[in-house]
Amino acid sequence: MNSSHDELQWLAAQYVLGTLPHAQRQAVEQRLPTDAALRAAVDEWETRLHPLTALAEPVQPSASLWQRIERSLPMPAPVRRRGGWHAWWESVQFWRWSTGAALACSVLLAVLMLRAEPPARAPAYMVVLVAPQDKAPGWVVQTGGSGRLNLIPLGVATVPQEKALQFWTKGANWNGPVSLGIVKPGKTQEVPLDKLPPLQPDQLFEITLEPGTGSPTGRPTGPILYIGRAVKVTS
């Protein structure tokens, strides 16, 4: 597998994950109509990562959202006709304003929900674990506001008898890797984040092949099957 193919796969993966800088993302979008190899790589990554969209958690807008919308809307000018509610009800100006206000309210609601600040939470990270030999993706590591780390399989790995898959991570200044547990092939692994030091950009994650009960030394002893580094996707 040559370096140009590796770079193409990396670029397509980051594009689909939405972690590219704005200028680089625009450059990819300009290439897509004429670069068949890049289009194919993007299509492959979208297919692989599409199941992750079901894991996205909805964000409940804050109680003050409607107050912000109401403050943003202009009030109609007074209508000088019959008194009381009849004057409003029979006013063409009122109906024009109410129709426009309803449309503006809908637009503002959509915009403010997107821009509303969510409750304070830890940054979210994502890691794509790939096989060192051919860069084929095998697992995705995802964190977010759920208070746990998810290791999500993209397929079912074949594990020899009396062997096990063990999940590891290592930060930049750590003395050594930390075991996150034995992994069952084809099963999602959950790790509470309160058991880990704060995650860092570029933090290493890997899965190694170990004895059936796990590494006897507390450090990886077998070959690396999948490896990747953390990318911060929200702050």
- The DSSP line for 82-122 is SSHHHHHHT-HHHHHHHHHHHHHHHHHHHHHHHHSPPPP-P
Note the pLDDT of residue 214.
Answer: 93
Radius of gyration of the chain (CA): 26
Averaged pLDDT, 149-175: 89
- Rounded Cα distance between 7 and 26, Å, is 17
Long-range (24+ apart) CB contacts under 8 A made by 35-40 are: 37/8, 38/8, 38/11, 38/12
- Rounded Cα distance between 80 and 68, Å, is 29
Task: For residue range 174-204, list pLDDT tens digits in order.
Answer: 888 999 999 998 888 888 878 777 888 889 9
Averaged pLDDT, 83-110: 50
Q: Is 16 helix (H, G, I), strand (E, B) or coil?
A: helix
Task: Extract the tokens encoding 112.
Answer: 């403010």
Considering only CA atoms, which of 210, 217, 148 is closest in space to residue 183?
210
Task: For residue range 90-101, list pLDDT tens digits in order.
Answer: 555 544 545 555
- CA-to-CA separations, 67 to 60, 105, 162, in angstroms, rounded: 15, 11, 62
Average the pLDDT over each of 11-25, 101-115, 134-148 and give the range with the smallest value.
101-115
- φ/ψ region of 56 (left if φ > 0, alpha if ψ in -120 to 50, else beta) reads beta
* 15 pLDDT tier (thresholds 50, 70, 90): confident
Task: For residue range 199-208, list pLDDT tens digits in order.
Answer: 888 899 999 9
Q: What is the mean pLDDT of the chain?
A: 75
Ordered domains of the chain (ranges, CATH)? 1-56 (no CATH), 65-115 (no CATH), 120-235 (2.60.40.200)
Q: Any residues with CB less than 8 A from the CB of 43 and at least 6 apart, and which?
A: none
Between 2 and 219, whose confidence is greater?
219
